[in-house]
Structure 1
Amino acid sequence: MTDAPLIYIVAGEASGDALGARLVAALRAREPGLRFAGIGGDLLAAQGMASLFPMRELALMGLLEVLPNIRNVARRLSETAADIAARRPAAIVTIDSPGFTMRLAERVQPLGIPVIHYVAPQIWAWRPGRVRKMRERVARVLCLLPFEPVIFDNAGIPATFVGHPVLESGADGGDAARFRAAHSLSPEERPLLVMPGSRRMEVQRLLPLFGATLGLLAQRVPGLRPVVAVSPLVAEAVRAGVAGWPGAPILVETLDAKHDAFAAVAAAGSVGLIKSGTSSLEMAVAGVPHVIAYRINPVTAWIVERLARVPFASLVNLLSEREVAPEFLQRFATPEAIAAALERLLTEPSVAAAQRDGLRAVLERLHPPGQAPSEAAAAAVLATLRAS
């Protein structure tokens, strides 16, 4: 049906691709005739949405990380705006990546097409001035966290809490026995999960830190086997970065394999070493105690530290209003400090149990009322579409 409504989706990184794919599936379940176009990765492609250009070109983070690519990003911004102008979709759904998506929303504003932004920019954390610009560009914000809608509503931007998509990620549905069999793990081996991120700059900064940490930890806790979750966007860089790590690391590249790894780590009473971000919530769903570490470019970090308005980087800790999972950022992210925190979780059962209790409490706050997050998001998109 060529006259069926077209929804244009823009995802700029792996997490947005997953979010967009579940949203498309939920929208089709409600309105089978909908059509989709835009920018995405493999998961949106599996839903039948061809990407205007490779999504990896937008998977950039930080001021100094973006600068070398600014001309290409500007060109892609113009291409996307032109494609939207040519296609005239009924609505545009921008997913996270505010550096790109908010500029796109400004560029297409004269077209009068409603823009629905999925994943609220963290104006409560830093750069509160962005809310004024959003008021002019966005018809509705879909919020993942329960305290966010009131912030946007008070600023004059309609907002809906749709729940966090990690709840339907399948992170708690893996098969531990299948993972151990697939990788011939002996009963004495304890898999330790490593999640270094999905952006090239992230893995380049974090893999040396994580490798040094595991080198120290291997001397203190025998039998550990690193299991590294690899995003397709950075698979080659991760393979190169873990060469020489202790314990013959296992790399898992598919979603099912990653979830099996989560289950194996949880069943073994082991832990995770992860970057800051949604990974912490995945660990909460999987029931895996973990330690968070993150480093960004020092200049970017200096700017962020002066603009930040919250005490934690991790969503688990922010929602708990206390440090449930130890987090080590920038100069505090040292192999010695991180290895010591991991060692406590691995050798003191009461410490690991206390974190698991805290993780369960966080998950209870992330459920939308009465439906799955993707269903709540689809309902909000269709309601905005009908009202426009």
Structure 2
Amino acid sequence: MTLVYLVAGEASGDVLGSRLMTALRAVRPDITFAGVAGPRMMAGGMDSLFPMSDLAVMGLVEILPRIRTLRRRMLSVVDDIAARRPDVVVTVDSPGFGLHVLKRIAPLGIKRVQYVAPQVWAWREHRIKTFPGRWDELLCLLPFEEAYFARHNLAARFVGHPVVQSGADRGNAARFRERHGLAADAPVLVLMPGSRRSEVPRLLPVFAETMALLAAKVPGITPVIPVSHAVADTVQQAAASWPVRPIIVTDLDDKHDAYAAAAAALTKSGTSTLELALAGVPMAVTYRVNPVSAFMARRMIRVPHVAMVNLLAGRLAVPELLQADCNPETLAATVLSLLRDPAKVAAQRKAFGEVIASLRPAGGNPADMAAAAVLALLPG
């Protein structure tokens, strides 16, 4: 049996990993999988060495208390790879963890793939000097990354962004409203606080106060919070005391239906901005981290925008409300402007079309493109 060892570190990597598993099996049914998996990958038949949630942490300061745990987990992955001797190791997203694993297993002579490029083009570019020899294939999600790494003499391949096959644009608004007992004219506001336990508590209190302000000005406005299973309990407990009780969604189809019903969204930065763009949901991006992390990040970030949709559009297509601007008054005012200004909505949707077009690979869907790159490294 051909063994592919996958290591996913957070919810986005779990989605990528599960689609990669499906695409690989479609071509090579003999492939088996081992490694670190989230719920989607586990539903596909893969056991996990330990809970993937152990690796889901973000922030320069937030990571410090977890360093010893992360190190132990890294060493357990390396030991497991050495014992199993897989045909290829694919670290999916979470390059901070994955690239350390790939470096450690280099002496084993196993083929190595990093799926999702480290964003050194955005910050801490000096790290690129440590990358030679880390991988046999670097699979990139963003169209400019292949050329960027080529300029540094590093092999890289653009395989397309998984958002284009996510189904986020195929939701059913009427179904969502019927399922949750919403009137046809009730404004729906999607709130996306993130998928990590370390980030959700920073945005939820701000969202709660924002909803209190909006409820006084927009009759019937209904917040909807799509979350991963990893943080669903945390969100449920926090939202129990909200002045406007949100609908909490964990099912993927229900999330896409919520997008179809939404008039606007407030989202943390990241892949969620691209999902919303694909679905055509007007949005503002907001984020809040530890002040020390924010100070350090501002000194290191080399790109003009934080939101991926803005970075790809090459302009401030959607508002970025970060740190001090991540406050209830500013968020509420921004949402109101999206609800009341059709011109702003039209401008955003025009930018969304450009962004999504740039993320589609020429040779097929992203999962199949990534699978083809992995298959090329396998024996037989």
TM range (shorter): over 0.9
Cα RMSD of the aligned pairs, angstroms, is 1.3
> Is 1:324 aligned to 2:313, yes or no?
no
SS of alignment partner, residue 37 of structure 1: strand
Partner of 2:364: 371
Q: Deviations over 1:259-312 (max 9, x none)?
A: 1111121xxxx1011111000000011111111100111111111110100011
The residue type paired with residue 304 of structure 1 is: A
> Is 1:133 aligned to 2:126, yes or no?
no
Stretch moving more, 325-334 or 215-224? 215-224
> Is 1:342 aligned to 2:335, yes or no?
yes
Shift of 1:19: 0.3
Contact 2:310–2:316 (CA under 8 A) maintained in structure 1: yes
- C-alpha separation in 2, matches of 1:26 and 1:327: 36
Contact 1:8–1:91 (CA under 8 A) maintained in structure 2: yes
Partner of 1:315: 308
> Is 1:54 aligned to 2:51, yes or no?
yes
Q: Deviations over 1:318-377 (max 9, x none)?
A: 011111111111122222222111111101111111111111111010000030010111
SS of alignment partner, residue 363 of structure 1: helix
> Is 1:38 aligned to 2:31, yes or no?
no
Partner of 2:152: 155
- Matches of residues 1-388 of structure 1 in structure 2 within 5 Å? 4-265=1-262, 270-385=263-378
- C-alpha separation in 1, matches of 2:67 and 2:97: 11
Q: State the aligned residue count.
A: 380
SS of alignment partner, residue 133 of structure 2: helix
Shift of 1:77: 0.9
- C-alpha separation in 2, matches of 1:350 and 1:386: 55
- C-alpha separation in 2, matches of 1:290 and 1:92: 37
Shift of 1:182: 0.9
Q: TM-score, normalised by structure 1?
A: 0.95
Shift of 1:100: 1.1
Stretch moving more, 242-251 or 355-364? 242-251
Q: TM-score, normalised by structure 2?
A: 0.97
Q: Deviations over 1:44-71 (max 9, x none)?
A: 0111111000000000111221222222
Where does structure 1 lack aligned partners over 5 or more consecutive residues? none
Where does structure 2 lack aligned partners over 5 or more consecutive residues? none
Dislocated runs of 4+, deviation >3 Å:
384-387
Shift of 1:386: 5.3
- C-alpha separation in 1, matches of 2:379 and 2:2: 11
Sequence identity of aligned pairs in percent? 52
Contact 1:175–1:260 (CA under 8 A) maintained in structure 2: yes
The residue type paired with residue 351 of structure 1 is: K
Contact 1:168–1:372 (CA under 8 A) maintained in structure 2: yes
Shift of 1:129: 1.8
The residue type paired with residue 136 of structure 1 is: G
Shift of 1:143: 0.4
Q: Deviations over 1:96-138 (max 9, x none)?
A: 1122111111111111112110111111101112222221211
Contact 1:140–1:157 (CA under 8 A) maintained in structure 2: no
The residue type paired with residue 244 of structure 2 is: G
- C-alpha separation in 2, matches of 1:6 and 1:187: 50
The residue type paired with residue 235 of structure 2 is: V
